[in-house]
Amino acid sequence: MLMDPKLTGYLRRALNHEMAAVQQYLTQSTLCELWGMEEMADKFMRESREELEHARRLIRHMLALGLLPNCTQLPAISATHSLKEMWLADWQLEADIIHLYAEASRYCARVGDETAYRLFDELLQEERQHLEWVEAGLAALEEKESRGG
């Protein structure tokens, strides 16, 4: 079976991104833990696990297609020194993957790959929810800052 090189590219980019997200959220969880922010540490840890589940689904699809999953281009995580910087870095992370998943799902719909379309579209919807979570966290933090807390 001939592999669609564009689909292969989307799958590999998506896997790299999801693994980078796992790394970023895990790092943020650990930083929050070190800073004594246990509730935020738990939230970031849950987010890390959700991103790991996304990676698992991508790997499953890749293996079903005969592709070996290989993350060789993990972007560096953002250096953050405050919770606000974390939220801003996470906003960019989620916005980037939403763009990728929207593009990939449109491509799969256009070429008639229903299975890959469903995968990318489901991940797109879940990442949109992640972005809403990030935006809510950022808004709550900004509200707290504006009240002087």
Residues 53-100 pLDDT 10s: 999 999 999 999 999 998 777 878 777 889 999 999 999 999 999 999
Name all domains of the chain by residue range, CATH numbers in brackets: 5-144 (1.20.1260.10)
Cα–Cα nearest to 111, from 99, 122, 120: 120
Q: What is the mean pLDDT of residues 106-132?
A: 97
Angle between helices 114-146 and 38-64 (to 10 degrees): 170
Cα–Cα nearest to 82, from 136, 129, 138, 133: 138
Q: Which amino acid is it at 127?
A: E
Q: Please name the helix (run of DSSP H) or strand (run of DSSP E) that holds residue 86, with its range, or none.
A: helix 83-111
Residue indicated by tokens 């995580």: 77
Residues 120-148 pLDDT 10s: 999 999 999 999 999 999 999 888 888 88
